[in-house]
Amino acid sequence: MEHIVIIGNGIAGITAARHIRKLSDKKITIISAEADHFFSRTALMYVYMGHMRWQDIEPYESWFWKKNRLELKNAYVETVDTTNQTLHFKEGGALTYDKLILATGSTTNYYNWEGQDLKGVQGLISKQDLENLEKFAPNNKVCPRAVIVGGGLIGVEMAEMLKTRTIEVTMLVRESAFWSGVLPKPEAEMISRHILSHGVDLRHSEELDKILSDANGNVRAVRTKSGEEISCNLVGITTGVKPQISFLEGSSIETDRGILVNRMLETNIKNIYAIGDCAQQREAIGNRAPVEAVWYTGRMMGEALAQTICGKPFEYNPGNWFNSAKFFDIEYQTYGWVFSERRKKDYEAQFHWKCTSDLRCITISYNKDNNEFLGINTFGIRMRHDVFDRWLNEKRSFEYVLKNLKEANFDPEFYKKYEKEIETEYNKNLISA
């Protein structure tokens, strides 16, 4: 019986395992040193905030694995012997495979700061990160203040988590507005104001210089590049993530930032594949980054690869870009491409509208040469994925999207609608132009 071994029990690896099992009777072993069972990584914050228990973020009951003949092994893979198709474990022992799926996910991006190995310095990706947060920031007596280095989605999540335990939070963000490397300037500035309104000490255009220690090797403060010393008991590192592939050093598997794969998710070694956050497309797909640390792309890769593993070759094709997140009270959705000033294309024009509440806004991106709709960011207004996906595929015009925006609105029945205000703003812009 063919033996499929999957390293990693995140969304990519577990989706691959589930779909291989649906399609075949192959032997499947899933290896992870992080947790015994798959859990919803995006819900880690809600466990710390007390909204959910750990068992609530495990989507499958404990009997699920045995019933579906999915063997689980809690171990750390130290080396991959591709010649003999054998994995060697840090704890000792080995395991052979017929086909190997690498789904090892991401790890926190550190930048060799002095003091980054101190107790109380951490990211927010893994189960162990959550456990360390409970250890070093259980309440405001143990941790009166925390400093978060970097912004982005993980940074704002960590800030919200800590504030629920009345821990004071300072955020060091090197940009002049929050996440302005991704968001257009008006959106980034609105999110900055919103974060500040929640009592977060958000420092723009500020960077970490070093992390300072107490006599016991714990964090006691940080020093910024402007020379200020800020006392704290926890330093959250949220300066992005990188593929977790260090164990592949010295192997014959080709890597760059991630594990290099083609559209079939095959590596350079026969019978070895990579999916999820650790995979890097040899040729980028459209405007997408070669490495995408996104939940749904990991799931899609798992589904696609399962077909190939089971004898039905299937190319990975993620379709139109989309994503969603939450900045404290403001829900964010993006469909297609809306670039920041730094990444904006020569042909890209943007229409921006913001509600007087400073809690809702949209930016519609379009090609100024032919008026084709390119993408939309929405904040505080829920939109329908299927509608925007269709409009992008149909290459609708900017005006068509604006006039039919009501069709895409997914807000509940009694929510105030803003389509008229958005259209009025557009018409006002036309007149002033």
390, 395, 397, 400 alpha-carbon torsion, rounded to 10°: -20
pLDDT exceeds 70 at position 432: no
Task: Classify each residue of 156-166 as buried b or exposed e, where b means 16 or more C-beta atoms within 10 Å of its C-beta.
Answer: bbbbbbbbebe
Q: How many domains does one find in the chain? A: 3
- For residue 112, is it within any domain? no
CA distance 397 to 399: 5
Shared domain check, 249 and 235: no
Question: Using the 8-state DSSP alphabet, how is residue 385 labeled?
Answer: H
Looking at the structure, tell me whether residues 246 and 102 fall in a common domain: yes
Residues 133 and 102 in one domain: no
Last residue of a domain, one of 239, 262, 294: 239
Q: Say yes or no: 231 and 248 in one domain.
A: no
Which residues, in sequence order, are CB contacts of 30 under 8 Å at separation 6+? Answer: 6, 8, 9, 13, 14, 17, 70, 71, 72, 73
341 and 281 assigned to the same domain = no
Residue 34 has pLDDT above 60, yes or no: yes
Q: Give me the CATH number covering residue 137.
A: 3.50.50.60
Residue 408 sits in the same domain as residue 300: no
Residues 348-375 have pLDDT tens digits of 999 999 999 999 999 999 999 999 999 9
**Token representation of residue 128:** 């162990």
Tokens 């905030």: give the residue.
Answer: 49
The verdict on 193 and 297 lying in the same domain is: no
225-244: pLDDT as tens digits: 999 999 999 999 999 999 99
Whole-angstrom CA distances from 288 to 215, 291, 318 are 46, 8, 9
Indicate whether 426 pLDDT > 60.
yes
Residues 6 or more apart whose CB falls under 8 angstroms from that of 78 comprise 88, 89, 90, 247
Checking if the pLDDT of 429 tops 80, the result is no
- Looking at the structure, tell me whether residues 336 and 419 fall in a common domain: yes
């000033």: which residue's tokens?
341
pLDDT at 344: 94
CB-neighbour burial class of residue 195 (10 A; exposed 0-12, middle 13-18, buried 19+): buried
Average of pLDDT values for 31-59? Answer: 96
Same domain, 355 and 291: no
User: What's the one-letter identity of residue 6?
Assistant: I
Could you tell me the CATH number of the domain that includes residue 355?
3.30.390.30
Asked whether residue 22 carries a pLDDT value surpassing 80, the answer given is yes
197 and 94 co-located in one domain: no
Q: What is the secondary structure of 24-74 as a DSSP string?
A: ---EEEEE-SS-SS---GGGHHHHHTTSS-GGGG--S-THHHHHTTEEEE-
Q: Given a cut of 80, is residue 330 above it in pLDDT?
A: yes
Of the residues 239, 258, 282, the one at which a domain ends: 239
Domain endpoint, select from 209, 239, 269: 239
pLDDT for residue 431 is more than 70: no
CA 274 to chain centre: 18
Helix (H, G, I), strand (E, B) or coil at 229: strand
User: Would you say residue 114 lies in a domain?
Assistant: no
Specify the pTM. 0.95
Which of 106, 137, 110 is CA-nearest to residue 210? 110
On whether both 25 and 103 belong to a single domain, the answer is: yes
Same domain, 250 and 102: yes
Return the amino acid letter for 340: S
Q: What is the pLDDT, as a whole number, of residue 414?
A: 75
**With 70 as the cut, is the pLDDT of residue 220 above it?**
yes
Q: Is residue 346 part of a domain?
A: yes
Could you list the residue range(s) of the whole structural domain that residue 422 is in?
Answer: 322-432
The answer to whether residue 116 sits within a structural domain is no
Q: What is the pLDDT of residues 132-164, one digit of tens each?
A: 999 999 999 999 999 999 989 999 999 999 999
pLDDT of residue 430: 66
